[in-house]
Structure 1
Amino acid sequence: MRKLIAAFKISVDGRTEGPEGYADWVRSWADDYGLTPQVDACVLGAGMYRTYEQYWTAIRNEPGTPHWIDDTPPTPGEIEWAEVAARLPHYVLSRTLTSVAWPNTRIVRGLDEIADLKRRPGKDIYLMGGAPTAAGALEAGLVDELRLIVHPLLAGEGPALFATTQLRHGLELHDVRRMSDGRLSLVYGIR
């Protein structure tokens, strides 16, 4: 069975974004997790989809133009991910969306469809968010692995990654790696 791998860039206090609605401390949204060769599909929630589609379309269409987060041009890793992402099937978990603009994307209505996706042949699946979607998938027993890039700051306000999680979940540390600027890469299996 394919693994569903949830991956997030968070602050030390577990925030996925600040009070402005995005993680202004993240300098690149490239695949720092090492997932690109391992996955052949992506899952995200409706809330994240809107920003995701806009952000990555802009990078694909104008790779030299500064982006809205910090007014810097996309990194080479972001340009690479924009091209890879345009080829990968995406599944947007939503009860309300009726259409999507990102290439090779379809709307799924429930976590049972994600469970079905895991049973199909293929590589692993990248669950990229948002936080409520990841928490719901974790609660449903669908998440097999959690990859975190922890940024060295306390964000204070903003949503926590697993704020809505009700059940306790044991984690097994598979890998830890120190990255530049004091960031940590953590890989956990879900018990």
Structure 2
Amino acid sequence: MRKVTSSLFSSVDGVVESPNLWQFDHFDEDMGPAMEAALADMDTVLMGRKTYEQWAGYWPDPAHDDGFGDFINPVRKYVASRTLDGPLEWENSSLIEGGLEDFVTALRGSEGGTIGIQGSISVVRQLLFAGLLDELTLMVHPVVAGGGERLFRPEDPTTRLELKSSRITSSGNALLTYARRAD
């Protein structure tokens, strides 16, 4: 069975939205290799509409390529959206037909490498609470962002996690990888 993972930049106060506004002064020499390792065996990407719309307008432009474009442009991308109509213009992008959880369950049973959720806070939340997210890595930066969307909400169900790995980078980022705890 294929593994489904997500890695998100997070502030100490739990903000995961728009990390470009608060994380780059702590993007140290340890972060690049950590991100490369997360992408190493990923051959399929899941994303929501907001991430798709932002990234499809940015990454295909060679002027923006800092190495991530070499990964994200050719990789197979599936987009969860109730409002987009297909076909999608960004290379190797398709809309998910039907329900997200059914689609991911079938995708997990297919041949291939790791399935990674890129950005897409609502997709991460839905798959975590449905038991379909195998690993969640939070790259917690030593900053209080204040405003912005947080990964978790007050109405979320109590969900037990197990710490799979942890590391502190040279500038104080905490790289924390969790899995749902099997009860």
Q: TM-score, normalised by structure 1?
A: 0.82
Question: Comparing 22-31 with 44-53, which one deviates more in the overlay?
Answer: 22-31
Give distance in 2, aligned partners of 1:3 and 1:157: 32
Residue 81 of structure 2 corresponds to which residue in structure 1?
94
Residue 8 of structure 1 corresponds to which residue in structure 2?
8
Residue 162 of structure 1 corresponds to which residue in structure 2?
152
Find the residue that maps to 2:178 and give its secondary structure. strand
Distance 1:85 1:30, change over 3 A: farther
Give distance in 2, aligned partners of 1:31 and 1:41: 20
Give distance in 2, aligned partners of 1:57 and 1:89: 14
Find the residue that maps to 1:92 and give its secondary structure. strand
Residue 24 of structure 1 corresponds to which residue in structure 2?
21
Give distance in 2, aligned partners of 1:177 and 1:101: 38
Give distance in 2, aligned partners of 1:38 and 1:14: 27
Q: Does 1:44 align with 2:41?
A: no
1:161 CA drift (Å): 0.9
Q: Deviations over 1:77-116 (max 9, x none)?
A: x622211112210010011111322210100042111221
| Aligned residue identity for 1:43 | L
Q: TM-score, normalised by structure 2?
A: 0.85
| Aligned residue identity for 2:53 | R
Q: How many pairs were matched up?
A: 172
User: Which of residues 171, 176, 179 in structure 2 aligns to 1:186?
Assistant: 176
1:164 CA drift (Å): 7.1
Tell me which stretches of 4 or more aligned residues in structure 1 moved more than 6 Å.
28-31
Q: Deviations over 1:129-150 (max 9, x none)?
A: 3111111111221111101111
Answer whether contact 2:9 2:19 (CA < 8 A) is retained: no
Distance 1:165 1:190, change over 3 A: farther
Q: Deviations over 1:151-184 (max 9, x none)?
A: 1011111111122762222111111111232111
Give the % identical residues: 31
Give distance in 1, aligned partners of 2:106 and 2:12: 34
Distance 1:97 1:84, change over 3 A: same
In structure 2, the gaps of 5 or more residues are none
In structure 1, the gaps of 5 or more residues are 64-77
Q: What is the correspondence of 1:93-132 to structure 2 with a 5 Å cutoff?
A: 93-99=80-86, 100-109=88-97, 110-111=99-100, 112-132=102-122
Distance 1:86 1:143, change over 3 A: same
Q: Does 1:173 align with 2:160?
A: no
1:49 CA drift (Å): 1.0
